[in-house]
Chains A and B, each alone.
Chain A
Amino acid sequence: MAEVLIKTSNIIKDFGQKVKTRVLFGIDLEIQSGEFTSLIGSSGSGKSTLLNIIGALDRPTEGHVVVGGTDLDDLDDDGLAYFRNKTIGFIFQSHFLLPQFTVLENVLIPYLIYAGRTTKDVEKRALELLDMVGLSHRRDNRGNAISGGEQQRVAIARALINNPRAILADEPTGNLDSSNTEKVFSILRDINREYATTFIMVTHDRNLADRTDRILELSDGIIIKDTGTSDCVKSPFHASQLYSFLVK
């Protein structure tokens, strides 16, 4: 019933010029719109490489990625940049805020890159997003003047400012303690509910993975496990989570 947002066919990725090392061995994947997928696997198994290819940060050596009907192979570098800006939101293990910009400005940057200046509407939206991640009181702080957990939540708000179709999160809680991990994950989950944003989240945390719609496991560049696309009627567990967010 749900539409396929991301489709990869036979993605192969080699690194190295003289000595080629194959990192991905023909990945075929379909991600449904609105799905919250977790990508697990041991270190070096190719998770980040796959995520970067899906997010148009990197090109596959072979194979195709189609997102929302667009074959990324058809785009030139500027086209890929525009695609990343409009369609994808990235969250990384390190938050990567611009240190000299305020929290609010950091959230607005993906919008500013192409629009040049803000509008009342987008500022309102940025404040709503900051509110959602619980940081509206930090809006005028410098990006480097808030805690790591807070910075990661700002990065989430930033990833959302352009209303992306998909959010790609590479170990977003990797640098966080358990309480911040819980905070960040539940925010991601709520966004997924509220905006039907598609998520692919790389994680080492089995517990978090278990709380997503679908688990993909990579090993040495091959998908060795896929819990499959559950129908988008969510389990009671998720519903109770949404409830707990709403009453907070």
Chain B
Amino acid sequence: MKSSLRFEISLARRFLEENKIQTIVIILGISIGVAVMVFLTALIDGLQADLITKTVGNSPHIVISNADSASAKASKSLGENEILLIDTTENNQRPIAEWRSITEALSADSGIKTVLPLVEGSGLITRGQVSRSILLRGFDLEQADLIYDISNSIIAGNQNVSDGAVLLGKELASDLGVTAGDPLQLELSGREPLTVMVDGIFDLGVSAINQRWMVMDQRKASALLGIGDRITSIEIQITNVFEAEQIAREWAVRLPSYNIQSWQESNASLLSALNSQSSSSYTIQFFVLLAVTLGVASVLAISAVQKSKQIGILKAMGIRSSSVARTFMFQGLFLGISGTLFGFVWGLIMSQAFIILAKQGYALLLKPITSTIIALSTILAATLSAYLPARQVSQIDPIEVIRNG
């Protein structure tokens, strides 16, 4: 270390020690600001992580279907001033014939965790006077468990679909008043109505699924839908959910004729809500940092006035102006570091208290990257805010000090 730096650092420490009260108050102030940032970001990040887990945990991250879907068709033909009307319950997916090779290629991608080829079609089930529209989903249950964990979600009846059993969502079943062992009338679009037996009822914890899904083996579903040895879509889970868009883009290049959608695209409104939440947290951070900056600047500006006599005599004894300036920058740095350290302590205590007191269903999440950003930006703000006082104090004229005794 440059030897004069050593003196500047020890002088900075001494100056802060001399103004004990000011120093303690400003460190307290910075630490409260940091604690607020730590707590709020931990809260928001925890909430968001929880929402994302809920969103993508038991659902596909990427869905591959045939490009010629209803919405694709509609958006292509949509002229100006036309209203886009799509019946999303209508399933216009065209079957995929070469699904085996695609599935194999997908499975070879190291970023991809689970590949689930499936058959999907919409229809209507009826029991007595009650009818409900359904989504018929056929897939290999063992493979599907990796995404949906259906086997562990059966609340009534048989859970083995391989022998042609039919599983029904919980709310669908209660709407129709059926339970395991009951017969149903099933009418698939463009097919003759037929009777099927309900073998089991599942509860996947998501009402959109519980209200619409009828699950069976892939072969049986393709037979009912009359599409032969073909499937309608491939669902994918990947290792890192945030790479979904990237991986989807890569596969869009390799499978240009298919429609490949990541969970981010299908949950755009959720993500934009999360984004605006994040930006409100950045706004808070910005104003906290502004307060830190002003606080440190004013404390050091006062200190600069209080210390002008000492600075004057040090300059007469040969300290360089730049050394004086650095002495004040170091004071800002020390205040920033101490405030940050205490702030993290308070912030973690606040977070812990929140977890204990508020009993929320989600954990707080303090990411290393956000912690680093909070710490560095606070320390940087405190140091930079010392700049003006440092400049002011470095320009003290020793002669003035000496003349005025």
Interface residues of A (CB under 8 A from B): 48, 52, 57-58, 77-78, 81-86, 90, 92-94, 96, 98-101, 109-110, 112-117, 158, 170
Contacts and interface: CB of A to CB of B under 8 A. Distances in A.
Contacts of A85: 317-319
A93 B322 CA distance: 27
Contacts of B322: 78
Nearest to A97: B313
B66 interface: no
Contacts of B7: 112-116
B18 A81 contact: no
A85 B4 CA distance: 13
A116 B398 contact: no
B4 A114 contact: yes
| Most chain A CB neighbours (cut-off 10 Å) among B2, B6, B7 | B7
Given A81-B315, A100-B18, A116 B399 contact: no
Given A81-B319, A81-B320, A100-B14, 8 more contacts: A81-B315, A85-B317, A92-B402, A96-B312, A101-B14, A109-B314, A113-B318, A116-B1
Interface string B1-31: 1111111001000100110000000000000
B76 interface: no
Given A48-B403, A110-B318, A113-B314, A96 B323 contact: no
A116 B3 CA distance: 5
A113 B317 contact: yes
B405 interface: yes
16 contacts: A81-B315, A82-B320, A84-B317, A85-B317, A90-B316, A94-B405, A96-B309, A96-B312, A98-B314, A99-B310, A112-B7, A113-B4, A113-B319, A116-B1, A116-B5, A116-B6
Contacts of B309: 96
Nearest to B405: A94
A42 B56 CA distance: 90
Nearest to B5: A116
A90 B317 CA distance: 7
B321 interface: yes
A84 B316 CA distance: 7
A117 B3 contact: yes
B404 to A, nearest CB: 9
Interface string B369-405: 0000000000000000000000000000011011101
B17 A114 contact: no
A96 B313 contact: yes
A78 B14 contact: no
Question: Secondary structure of the B side of the interface?
Answer: helix
Nearest to B319: A113
Contacts of B403: 48
Contacts, number: 79
Contacts of A116: 1-7
A118 B403 CA distance: 31
Contact of A82 (B5, B313, B318): B318
Contacts of A170: 402
Contact of B6 (A84, A94, A117): A117
A98 B317 contact: no
Contacts of B323: 113
| Most chain A CB neighbours (cut-off 10 Å) among B4, B5, B315, B398 | B398
B162 to A, nearest CB: 79
Nearest to B17: A100
A126 to B, nearest CB: 14
B320 A78 contact: yes
Nearest to A94: B405
B399 A86 contact: no
B320 to A, nearest CB: 5
A57 B3 contact: no
A86 B318 contact: yes
Closest 3 CB pairs of A and B: A85-B318, A116-B6, A116-B3
Given A48-B403, A94-B405, A96-B309, A109 B14 contact: no
Interface string B298-328: 0000000000011011111111111100000
| Most chain A CB neighbours (cut-off 10 Å) among B3, B6, B316, B320 | B316
A158 B316 CA distance: 12
Nearest to B1: A116
A109 B405 contact: no
Contacts of B4: 113-114, 116
Nearest to B19: A100
Contacts of A84: 316-318
Nearest to B14: A100
Contacts of B1: 116
B303 to A, nearest CB: 13
